[in-house]
Amino acid sequence: DSGVTQTPKHLITATGQRVTLRCSPRSGDLSVYWYQQSLDQGLQFLIQYYNGEERAKGNILERFSAQQFPDLHSELNLSSLELGDSALYFCASSVVGTSGGDTGELFFGEGSRLTVL
Amino acid sequence: GQQLNQSPQSMFIQEGEDVSMNCTSSSIFNTWLWYKQEPGEGPVLLIALYKAGELTSNGRLTAQFGITRKDSFLNISASIPSDVGIYFCAGRVPRSGNTPLVFGKGTRLSVIA
């Protein structure tokens, strides 16, 4: 158990719909990262939040958005869903180093498997 | 953006054999990490490397941060069936502030008992 909690574990929806994926980081971790993993693909970085603020953006589509709340949990919103959005979506939180910076060591949740029909 | 080339893409080995896989980058990285992902699970951190030339072990796993800072290697000795999974390398470029990890596409390891 990594300590990172993601819900839901599985989600099936139709094209054009909107879904929200939720993530609770490990206790004490301030950074939350979202990654997308498609079939036979590696992990594609979507977006990072640190203590409630957006820190870095990757290949995240305009139809997708995220936020991190004061209690540090994060939500990833996916809208106008397309078939190609079917994937595993992982949230990860990162250990904070002694200097206060991000060590880069990510701890991943079990993922949310999204299927768009 | 940065790209990581991970090889081999897949391996089929006999139980007890040693395994070696590597990762190369077009950019210099200041951090290399190795993760393992099992079916239905998220990736789990195996080894983290922070200095060029660093060699670190975790049980039967050994990883090295290449001297050029553009590559890393992971070795697994005396493989066992539970080593099955996808192994990902990940790296981070030196830049001010926190930069996200870039992941390779993974090496899928199958162990034949």
In tens, the pLDDT along A27-56 reads 988 889 999 999 767 899 999 998 899 988
B92: pLDDT confidence band, cut at 50, 70 and 90? Answer: confident
Distance from CA of A40 to the nearest CA of B (A): 8
The predicted pLDDT at position B2 comes to: 63
Dihedral Cα A66, A72, A73, A77, nearest 10 deg: -10
Retrieve residue B45's tokens.
């951190």
- Residue B106 contacts A, CB cutoff 8 Å: yes
- Residue A12 contacts B, CB cutoff 8 Å: no
Q: Does position B100 have pLDDT exceeding 90, yes or no? A: no
Q: Does position A101 have pLDDT exceeding 70, yes or no? A: no
Distance CA B81, CA B18 (A): 13
Distance CA B17, CA B67 (A): 27
The predicted pLDDT at position B94 comes to: 74
A44 contacts: CB under 8 Å, gap ≥ 6: A35, A36, A37, A38, A58, A59, B103
- Residue A101 contacts B, CB cutoff 8 Å: yes
- Give me the residues paired with residue A19 across strands: A78
Verify whether the Cβ–Cβ distance A48 to B88 is below 8 Å. Answer: no
In tens, the pLDDT along B59-91 reads 999 999 999 999 999 999 999 999 999 999 999
The predicted pLDDT at position A94 comes to: 86
Dihedral Cα A62, B31, A96, A114, nearest 10 deg: 40
Chain centre distance of CA B15: 20
Verify whether the Cβ–Cβ distance B105 to A41 is below 8 Å. Answer: yes
